[in-house]
């Protein structure tokens, strides 16, 4: 059904940081479809995006809420729109766009707007960690440390692939003691000593990483990857295997499947990475799936059972 009106929550700093030009193109394309559009712009630094989305939806119950940004922006908007009646649309504008690609959403503005104007609704699951949504992945340990280091390097030297690679080297070289944690999956507990835990709720991303586990997600669960406790060289090797899509189950990572996962560790507060965004949370860390939490607009021809 064609939306009556649209409100776009726009991250002007995503991807190529072309927010002003993107806003104009979005406005023109919705005008082409004769759909009224307005914008809510936000700064990614310090913005509670879930609250922004929730407040926007509550004040505009008849509007379709559209997220325009990268995976972190889309995840934040989804957190605020979980289990509300508003339809949600997506205009991808990030670097990887895993969530949008998992739904076969186009990555150009005009085509993405066309889907919102002509697409169909698909009830879609989301994952949460301590009440905060993630659409692709959440992690604690080495990957969160890499993101924290990368932002500091970007601030100083600008965004580039060289800067991104250097952040990996620097973060892993200075990583301190591994995590000591108790993992409880669907009521069964065991202990791990590991530098990295990585939860994935998106089968498309698993496939991109060269890992199995689609059957777990098809059953409504999420995959938990636990890296082996090793020396720094081993950590480099496992991280590179993950990044290059050649990681092997039970060799580079232990793989678990569950609907309800709890991570407990001595340090109660830790940086947590969710869909490429970093925030600090207090443990224990509780992860679970929420069934059909979003009413997403997807292409009419999209009929994959598992995203």
Cβ atoms 124, 203 nearer than 8 A? no
Q: Report, as an integer, the average pLDDT of 194-199.
A: 88
What are the tens digits of pLDDT across the range 250-281?
A: 556 789 999 999 999 987 789 898 998 888 99
Residue 47, pLDDT above cutoff 60: yes
> What is the pLDDT, as a whole number, of residue 253?
78
Percentage, residues of the chain above pLDDT 90? 54
Yes or no: say if 296 and 92 are a contact pair by the CB < 8 Å rule. Answer: no
Residue 268: the pLDDT is 78
pLDDT at position 206 is 87
- 138 with 287: CB under 8 angstroms? yes
Long-range own/partner contacts, residues 278-282 (CB < 8 A, 24 or more apart):
278/144, 278/147, 278/148, 278/151, 279/132, 281/129, 281/130, 281/132, 282/130
The residues near 31 (Cβ < 8 Å, ≥ 6 apart) are 37
Q: Radius of gyration of the chain from Cα atoms? A: 19
In the numeric block, which tokens belong to residue 268? Answer: 């109660």
Strand residues in 19-129 grouped as ranges (E)? 37-42, 64-69, 88-92, 120-129
189 vs 209: CA distance, rounded Å:
27
How many whole angstroms separate alpha carbon 196 and alpha carbon 178? 8
The arithmetic mean of pLDDT across residues 4-29, rounded, is 84
Question: Average pLDDT of the chain?
Answer: 85
Which single residue is written with the structure tokens 């000593």? 193
Cα angle value 154/159/163 (rounded, 5°): 70
Nearest C-alpha neighbor of 274 from the set 36, 79, 29, 60:
79
> Could you state, in order of their start, the residue ranges of all structural domains in the chain?
6-124+292-298, 137-274
Q: How far apart are CA 44 and CA 75, in angstroms?
A: 13
Least confident of 150-154, 209-213, 297-301: 150-154
CATH number of 6-124+292-298: 3.40.50.10330
pLDDT band at 177 (very low <50, low <70, confident <90, very high): low
Give the HSE-up count for residue 246: Cα atoms under 13 Å, Cβ half-sphere.
Answer: 5
Res 15 pLDDT > 80: no
Question: In degrees, to the nearest 5, what angle opens at C-alpha 242 toward C-alphas 206 and 191?
Answer: 85
Average pLDDT score over residue span 196-224: 89
> d(Cα 193, Cα 227) in Å, to the nearest integer?
9
Whether 243 has a pLDDT exceeding 80, the answer reads: no
End-to-end CA distance of the chain: 22
Assign domain 137-274 to a CATH class: mainly beta
Tell me the C-alpha distance between 77 and 53, whole Å: 5
Q: Assign residue 96 a region: left if phi > 0, alpha if psi is -120 to 50, beta otherwise? A: alpha
Most confident of 126-140, 163-177, 248-262: 126-140
């Amino acid at each position: 059904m064609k939306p009556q009106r649209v409100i776009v929550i726009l991250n002007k700093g995503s991807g190529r940081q072309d927010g002003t030009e993107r806003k104009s193109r979005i406005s023109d394309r919705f005008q082409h479809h004769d759909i009224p559009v307005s914008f809510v712009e936000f700064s990614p630094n310090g913005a509670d995006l879930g609250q922004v989305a929730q407040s926007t939806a509550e004040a505009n119950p008849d509007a379709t809420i559209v997220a325009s940004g990268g995976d972190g922006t889309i995840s934040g908007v989804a957190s605020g729109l979980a289990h509300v009646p508003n339809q949600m649309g997506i205009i991808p504008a990030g670097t990887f766009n895993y969530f949008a690609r998992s739904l076969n959403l186009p990555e150009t503005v005009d085509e993405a707007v066309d889907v919102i104007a002509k697409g169909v609704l698909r009830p879609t699951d989301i994952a949460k960690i301590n009440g905060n949504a993630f659409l692709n992945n959440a992690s604690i340990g080495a990957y969160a440390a890499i993101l924290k280091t990368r932002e500091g390097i970007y601030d100083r030297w600008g965004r580039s692939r060289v800067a991104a690679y250097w952040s990996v080297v620097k973060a892993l070289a200075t990583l301190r003691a591994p995590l000591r944690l108790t993992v409880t999956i669907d009521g069964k507990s065991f202990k791990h000593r590991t530098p990295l835990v990585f939860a994935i709720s998106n089968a498309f991303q698993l496939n991109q990483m060269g890992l199995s586990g689609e059957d777990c997600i098809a059953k409504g669960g999420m995959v938990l990857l636990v890296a082996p406790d090793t020396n720094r060289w081993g950590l480099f090797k496992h991280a590179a295997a993950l990044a290059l899509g050649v990681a092997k189950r039970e060799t580079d990572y232990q793989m678990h499947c569950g609907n309800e996962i709890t991570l407990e560790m001595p340090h109660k507060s830790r940086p947590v990475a969710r869909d490429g965004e970093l925030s600090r949370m207090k443990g224990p860390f509780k992860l679970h799936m929420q069934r059909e939490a979003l009413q997403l607009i997807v292409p009419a021809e999209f009929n994959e059972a598992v995203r």
